[in-house]
Amino acid sequence: MKRLFTERHGTTKPRVAEVLDEVTRSALLTLLRARMDEEWFGLSFPQKCDDGHAYAGTDFTKLRATMDGYGLLWPKQEIDPDNPPPDGQIFDVIEFSYEYVAAALNPTFHSYMSHSHYAYDQETGRDKFAQDVNRIFERNGVAFALVEGEVTRLAPAVIDDLLAQTIFRTGDADLDAMLEAARQKFLNRALDVRRESLEKLWDAWERLKTLEPGKDKKASTKALLDRVTTELTFRDRLEQEANQLTDIGNTFMIRHTEKDKVPIGESAQVDYLFHRMFSLIHLLLRASRRGG
The pLDDT tens digits of the residues spanning 220-265 come to 999 999 999 989 999 999 999 999 999 999 999 998 889 999 999 8
Residues in the chain, total: 292
* Per-residue pLDDT reduced to its tens digit, 209-222: 999 998 999 999 99
Q: Judge whether residue 90 has pLDDT over 90.
A: yes
pLDDT confidence band for 4 (50 / 70 / 90):
confident
Judged against a pLDDT cut of 50, whether residue 111 lies above it is answered with: no
The residue-averaged pLDDT of 146-152 equals 94
**Residue 117 in this model has a pLDDT that exceeds 80:** no
Q: Are 33 and 75 in contact (CB under 8 A)?
A: yes
Q: What is the pTM of this model?
A: 0.66
Q: Where are the domains of the chain?
A: 5-152, 156-287
- pLDDT given at position 158: 57
Give residue 34's pLDDT.
96
Report the pLDDT value the prediction gives residue 18, as an integer from 0 to 100: 86
